[in-house]
Structure 1
Amino acid sequence: MAHQDTRRFLKLASALVAGLALAACGKQTPPPAAEAASAPPSAPVAAPVKVVTVGTDAAYAPFEFQNEKAEIVGFSVDLLTAVAEKGGFQVKFVNTPWEGIFNALGQGDRDMLISSITITDERKQTMDFSDPYFDAAQLIAVKETSKVAKFADLKKLKVGVQTGTTGDETVTKLLGKTSTSVKRFESTPLALKELEAGGVDAVVADNGVVIHYVANNPGSKFKTVSDTSFAPEQYGMAVKKGNAELLAMINKGLSAVKADGTYAAIYKKTFGTEPAAAAAPASAASN
């Protein structure tokens, strides 16, 4: 009896082991590595487009100013928008008062500046500039009845300038650092308004701004006077010292818009004439 029970037990055990083996064979799955290898590769994720915060003093028509909708517009805005498209980045313009604009760049509140900034050796010490994008010079604005014929005639007159500009530096050299005849204003249009009111005898500022103001304010009865002693100047876009990546993107875009005619089209739209020649690097202005 015990012998039969033992044989029966062995048969049942053998059947149970065979069943488990078959079940294990039926549930075989490929290893995770094989599954991963057979899966299609995922598409590469495009890098986000860099958005650059741009500081500009929007009180300098026709280069940068605010329209009736308080939008920042002008030659500089149109140009940089085109440059950014060619250079592979996007721009966000922020109205930034001139007197604090360079600090905003240095502290990182702005990634770059475009605000009719003359490239000078002094400014190069604290910021880096793009290739030049506009050729400029100082110009004198006086009333039509004025006898001013050259820059030296301003020595005994009250002269209005925008604080911290190359016009300010040029007039200060002529009249002296301690002269009370140099009248400084937050913007060139304010200085020109003071000329209209009789508070100053002349205004010295960048030619593009002066010409635009005189042409659009015929009631002011102004005339302009040029002088060969004024050094040629060039505007550049400024970035924080050492920001080579952004500078390269700007210069790439600027070169492209000059080459394909976009620069000339924007220039003509703003000033009504073709540019004399594409702005090319030159020695930095001394004032």
Structure 2
Amino acid sequence: MALGHRVRGHRARAVIGSIAALTALGGLLTGCATDSAESAESTAVEVRPELRALLPGELRAESARIAVGTESGYPPFEYTNEAGRIVGFEIDLFDAASKRLGLKYNFVDMPFKTLLGELYGSNVDALAAAMSDTAERQADYDFVDYYNDSDAIMVPAGNPEGIKALPDLCGRTVAVLTGSTQQEALAQLNTAQCQAKPVNVLQFETDADALAQVQAGKADAELTQWSTGAYNAKQVGSGDVFEVANTEIINPTPLGFVFQKGDVEMVRAYQAAVQSIIDDGTYAEILEKHDLSAGALDKATVNGQ
């Protein structure tokens, strides 16, 4: 995900009072807005008044609604189903946490690389986009962590090139999502193990476009998040088109919902809400539904702490 631009002016929360207003915002961001009721498929979650009280005062009003940036091409975290609804693990999780707070929201679907910049510019209030919580990003944003993940090297089924680890990518062509931490990992690889034989990095606007280069024979591999890679290895075709090449863990990193740096009340409220659904078992149910229990957290942390 792109590291936000530095043009933020006066902090102005985007509390959306109507679908019409959010649609206008979606047009501004060249994305589309989706109402929370049309997206998530999570189980019923009751509001906890003591957690709702943690929200900023203006967000406790019955009409309050926040705009949440996402990119709907990254299964199993967020993707568009056959009915045109944005669904997925992170969608269900954000929905459950928001219901616990009694807070309405709308997703604004936009290009992956623009998300942090739109949050930095106060055009959305939060991000739910399988965002890796890194020290570099923490300089400008705060994370409420909800999952542990790592990286996957995606190759054609049968792994004809025998790729097993990151150094095996030296001298090869590798596709990657523009602005992602995986792109940064390849850049670091080229300054370290692959100086003599650099990786030829192909950047794409969506993870699906990057993976398609492997299927078309235009790239030897794709570097992506492990959960997304494992999902695609099982789901594309009959599960015989791609495979995850690495058996060792690469770049383990927490993922989190993202808020503007210093948005203390929102961060505290969502941390408490996520911890609440961890404690009551809702989190485990959502993980199991999406076959992601392996990356479960016991505690909802802020910036990995």
Shared fold per TM-score greater than 0.5: yes
Match of 2:229 among 203, 210, 222: 210
* AA matched with 1:210: G
1:77 aligned counterpart, secondary structure: helix
Q: Quickly say closer, same or farther: Cα 1:253–1:282, change in 2 above 3 A.
A: closer
- 1:251 alignment partner, one of 262, 271, 274: 271
Letter matched to residue 178 of structure 2: T
Shift of 1:280: 5.6
- Identify the residue that residue 48 of structure 1 maps to in structure 2: 62
For the 8 Å contact 2:287–2:296, the answer to whether it is kept is: no
Cα offset for 1:180? 6.9
What is the TM-score with the length of structure 1 in the denominator?
Answer: 0.77
- Note closer, same or farther for the CA distance 1:255–1:50 as it changes in structure 2 (3 Å cut): farther
Corresponding residue number in structure 1 for 2:241: 221
Amino acid at match of 1:89: L
| CA distance, structure 2, for counterparts of residue 123 and residue 134 of structure 1 | 17
Matched, 1:270 2:283: no
Taking a change above 3 Å as real, the CA distance of residues 180 and 282 of structure 1, as seen in their structure-2 partners, is: same
Equivalent residue for 1:231, pick from 233, 251, 262: 251
Contact (CA 8 Å) 1:86, 1:252: kept in 2 or not? no
> What SS does the aligned partner of 1:168 have?
helix
Q: Alignment partner of 1:115: what SS? A: strand
Name the aligned partner's letter for residue 117 of structure 1: M
Secondary structure (helix, strand or coil) at the match of 1:148 reads coil
Per-residue CA deviations over 1:241-276 (Å, capped at 9, x if unaligned) read 221121122112101110000000001111175655
Identity of aligned residues (%): 27
Corresponding residue of 1:113: 127
Query: Is 2:167 aligned against 1:152?
Result: yes
Evaluate the alpha carbon distance shift between residue 274 and residue 85 of structure 1 in structure 2; reply closer, same or farther with a 3 A threshold.
Answer: same
| Equivalence for 2:78 | 64
Aligned partners of 2:188, 2:258: CA distance in 1, in Å?
A: 25
- When structure 1 is superposed on structure 2, of 155-164 and 177-186 the one drifting more is 177-186
Question: CA offsets per residue over residues 95-124 of structure 1, 9 Å max, x none?
Answer: 021111111101111000010000011101
Distance (Å, rounded) in 2 between the aligned partners of 1:182 and 1:272: 29
- Which amino acid in structure 2 is aligned with residue 175 of structure 1? N
Which secondary structure state, in structure 2, belongs to the residue aligned with residue 147 of structure 1? coil
What residue is the counterpart of 2:117 in the other structure?
103
Report the Cα distance in structure 2 between the residues aligned to 1:194 and 1:102, rounded to whole angstroms.
26
Unaligned runs of 5+ in 1: 1-45
**What is the TM-score when the length of structure 2 is the normalising length?**
0.72
Between structures 1 and 2, the one with greater helix share? 1
Correspondence for 1:183 among 194, 198, 202: 202
Q: Distance in 1 between matches of 2:97 and 2:61?
A: 20
Q: CA RMSD in A?
A: 2.4
C-alpha deviations, 1:137-163, integer Å up to 9, x for none?
A: 001111122311222111011011101
State how far apart, in whole Å, the 1-side matches of 2:297 and 2:270 are.
20
Change (3 A) 1:101 1:256: same
Name the count of aligned residue pairs.
239
Q: 2:146 aligns with which of 128, 133, 136?
A: 133
Asked if 1:78 is matched to 2:98, the reply is no
Asked if the contact 1:88/1:249 (under 8 Å) is kept, the reply is no
Return the letter of the residue paired with 1:83. A
Is 1:170 equivalent to 2:185 in the alignment?
A: yes
Q: What is the match of residue 197 of structure 1? A: 216
In 2 relative to 1, CA 245–281 (structure 1 residues): closer, same or farther, beyond 3 Å?
closer
Higher Cα radius of gyration: 1
Question: What is the CA-CA distance between 1:226 and the residue it aligns to?
Answer: 2.1
Amino acid in structure 2 at the alignment position of 1:159: V
Q: Which residue of 1 aligns with 2:55?
A: none
Checking the alignment, whether the CA contact within 8 Å between 1:49 and 1:88 is kept in structure 2 is: no
The 8 Å contact of residues 184 and 191 in structure 1, kept in 2 or not, is answered as yes
